[in-house]
Structure 1
């Protein structure tokens, strides 16, 4: 009988120098484009809705990035977005490891973005055109 060789079984235990999983995201991945474009959006009208005081809030720019990236991947359910934030490396990178629950995502989308989503999408299309991405109209 031949000697059977297996590759080492990967360990789930933490190592002294954990691998930077975010380094595995290619430079040309769409998540990086969403990040760059949303960073350029003027969201002062959304930030102005926050009153201050109380507990800290998740930054609206991060929430917009997560929502727009989810929409790019045809993910519209708040529960599916919540799951992606917990399991998908691209969502983790985009959110900076923040993992808002589905209620928070739904509240942000329904209350904070109400009346602003169309203008934000129009701004994204304009910015993509400025960056040289062909946009079919």
Structure 2
């Protein structure tokens, strides 16, 4: 059985503008809190249940962070 792979999550990668996420999000911004909470969740059972079809998907922690922030805080 082939191991499931996700696109890497690298929040320090420079963007087109500004240079990185750290440049435009304050240290105590709500999105940073959401990311810290979601990263503490266990995604192993979910990752093991994913099939390896189609193109690489976003990592479940990234997708869940976006969902929480977009649904509850905007």
TM above 0.5: yes
Moved over 2 A (4+): 18-22
The normalised TM-score by structure 1 is 0.37
Higher relative contact order (CA 8 A, sep 6+): 2
C-alpha displacement of 1:42: 0.4
Q: Count the aligned residue pairs.
A: 57
Number of the residue aligned with 1:26: 26
Gaps of at least 5 residues in structure 1 are 1-17, 75-137
C-alpha displacement of 1:21: 5.8
8 A contact 2:18–2:24 mirrored in 1:
no
Q: Kindly indicate which of the two structures has a greater share of residues assigned to helix.
A: 1
The normalised TM-score by structure 2 is 0.63
Higher-Rg member (1/2): 1
Gaps of at least 5 residues in structure 2 are 1-16
